[in-house]
Amino acid sequence: MKKLLIFVISLAVIGNFPISASAYGWGYQKNNEGAPPDVGFYGQLLSEYDGFYIDESGDKEIYLTFDNGYEEGYTGKILDVLKEKDVPAAFFITGHYINSAPDLVKRMNKEGHIIGNHSWHHPDFTTSSKARIKEELDKVESAVADLTDQEEMLYLRSPRGTFNKKTLDWTREMGYINTFWSIGFVDWNTGEQKGWKYAYDSLMKQIHPGAVLLLHSVSEDNALALEKLIEDLRGKGYTFRSLDHLMMKKLLPRGSYWY
């Protein structure tokens, strides 16, 4: 799957931005009126390097993604809800998470979720060498392959949300698709959780067709809000899809993808 997608993407590449050492931190102007956020020039930049932050089709589809740097005891609950509601997700994990929660990594895979690469040590890629980045990513991919039957990784979430043209170019060359997001909020501070309603409201007011949601699994609020979030979004006509579905939509003519 990874080799096929990268090959097809490479056929569509027209040109590259010049490599630059500038560092960017992913961000955008939130839109609370049912429309995608304004990401400025980041959108074109990601497109040039075959990354994405949104499903641009306009379809009422949602993509759930979680960042898992370490475990606080809530991922099991999150997986329970996803299984009960039959919702696919992608979990971007680090080396620390693999070492500390191998059973949860196995469960993610067993229950049909995508495991994405969030690097081994979570370094700033914009200050890392190409060799260091490759080592970080290879180590996660190898460890996950040893634990599960997912033999390769396609999706990458840049540590700390930092990137530049150089890191986008290098990681694409390594076979990864940079995966950013169009909806998120400050949910990772475990000492400042504000209740499930705050998490629910923060996400619902940003919802738009084609949204890629970023949630952190260390948030108790997210775990408690997830079931209602799924139910209410379905009530509004949204369907939950996997990142593989999004990639098929990007690569194939409209109407020819099958899942």
Helix, coil or strand: residue 240: strand
Provide long-range contacts, Cβ within 8 A and 24+ apart, for 130-138. Answer: 130/170, 133/167, 133/170, 133/171, 133/174, 134/170, 134/174, 137/171, 137/174, 137/176
pLDDT band (50, 70, 90) for residue 254: low
Provide, rounded to the nearest whole percent, the portion of the chain with pLDDT above 90.
Answer: 86
Q: For all residues of the chain together, what is the average pLDDT?
A: 91
Considering only CA atoms, which of 192, 124, 127 is closest in space to residue 158?
Answer: 124
Residue extents of the structural domains in the chain:
2-9+39-251
Q: Which residues are catalytic?
A: 67, 216
pLDDT at residue 16 in the model: 32
DSSP 50: T
pLDDT surpassing 50 at residue 136: yes
Predicted structure pTM score: 0.90
Q: What is the pLDDT of residue 255?
A: 58
pLDDT at 170: 98
Give the mean pLDDT of 151-168: 96
Average pLDDT over residues 230-246: 98
- Asked if the model's pLDDT at residue 14 lies above 70, the reply is no
Q: Please, what CATH class does the domain formed by 2-9+39-251 belong to?
A: alpha beta
Please determine, for residue 251, whether its predicted confidence score (pLDDT) is greater than 90.
Answer: no
Label residue 252 by pLDDT band (50, 70, 90): confident
Instruction: Give yes or no for residue 214 having a pLDDT over 50.
Output: yes
Q: Which of 109, 139, 104 is nearest to 123 (CA)?
A: 139
Nearest to 161 by CA among 98, 92, 83, 226: 92
* Tokens describing residue 24: 């960017």
How much is the average pLDDT of 205-225?
A: 98
